[in-house]
């Protein structure tokens, strides 16, 4: 049964050219939303066009600067008349390795996107979200914010800071009617992971399935989530169905990390 949970709502999605951001934006458009697909990739407008007759547009912006974020928000307001929902999915991860061997400039660059880029988007969107009266923000995080990954300390620490600030902003923005939540995927069954496993398996003389098995075995359900699985959780939290949910972290990892 089709739904129109986002009819009349304007959603801005960052990192919308691929992966979770793309899945979220296309799902929201299919459910009646007016959606701005934002990414630094030039092909984001082509992705937005996949939504067919829905009211969508693509916008290319560097979200590490307030100017880039503000330009995306201003475009959304001009084109659609306001902003009701902000989905922050733009992210960056460092090359895997230990803190001891890490390049601190690379860790800083990761935080510039995952933490400061997300906060910059929220800052730029806040006036429009306040005007909405029923605004919602969903920050795409990672289960690594709590389930430690020794190879990606820069990425997971930036996301852990974002997890805390998600709760902080939920409390601060509550009087404006703005809800703020986080979705925390685990390792995902998606093309980037498959490509990585294929390359790693070839280098080690093994199979991708053998390398993938430990991650699947750590889940309670025996499978990894897809981008579409995560998108369903994100759109639930962004929708009126979650009108009394704010400041929460929803883990979508097959039950790998239990609370």
Catalogue the active-site residues.
155
Question: Is residue 47 helix, strand or coil?
Answer: helix
E strand map for 52-106:
56-60, 85-88
Rounded distance between C-alpha atoms, residue 199 and residue 118, angstroms = 31
Tokens describing residue 108? 């800083």
Q: Please count the helices (runs of H) and the strands (runs of E) in the chain.
A: 9, 7
Place of tokens 């739904």: 3
CB neighbours of residue 232 within 10 Å: 15
Kindly give, in sequence order, each residue whose CB lies less than 8 Å from that of residue 129, ignoring residues fewer than 6 positions away. Answer: 83, 84, 86, 135, 137, 173, 176, 178
CA distance 129 to 177: 9
Measure the CA–CA gap between 20 and 254, rounded to whole angstroms: 16
135 in Cβ contact with 84 (< 8 Å): yes
């Amino acid at each position: 049964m089709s739904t129109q949970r986002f009819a009349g709502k304007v959603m801005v999605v960052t990192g919308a050219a691929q992966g979770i951001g793309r899945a979220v934006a296309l799902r929201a458009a299919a459910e009646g939303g007016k959606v701005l697909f934002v990414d630094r990739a030039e092909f984001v407008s082509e992705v937005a066009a996949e939504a067919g007759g829905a009211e969508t547009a693509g916008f290319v912006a560097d979200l590490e600067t307030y100017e880039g974020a503000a330009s995306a928000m201003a475009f959304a307001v001009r084109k659609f008349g306001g902003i009701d929902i902000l989905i922050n999915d733009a992210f960056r991860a460092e090359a895997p390795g230990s803190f001891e061997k890490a390049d601190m400039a690379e860790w800083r660059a990761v935080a510039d996107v995952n933490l400061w880029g997300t906060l910059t988007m929220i800052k730029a969107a806040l006036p429009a979200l306040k005007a909405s009266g029923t605004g919602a923000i969903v920050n795409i995080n990672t289960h690594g914010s709590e389930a430690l990954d020794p190879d990606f300390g820069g990425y997971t620490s930036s996301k852990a800071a974002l997890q805390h600030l998600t709760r902080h902003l939920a409390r601060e923005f509550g009087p404006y009617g703005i809800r703020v939540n986080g979705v925390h995927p685990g390792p995902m069954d998606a093309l980037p992971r498959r490509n990585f496993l294929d390359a790693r398996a070839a280098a080690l003389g093994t199979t991708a399935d053998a390398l993938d098995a430990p991650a699947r075995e750590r889940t309670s359900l025996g499978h990894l989530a897809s981008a579409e699985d995560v998108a369903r959780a994100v759109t639930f939290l962004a929708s009126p169905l979650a009108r009394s949910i704010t400041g929460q972290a929803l883990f979508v990892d097959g039950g790998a990390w239990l609370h």
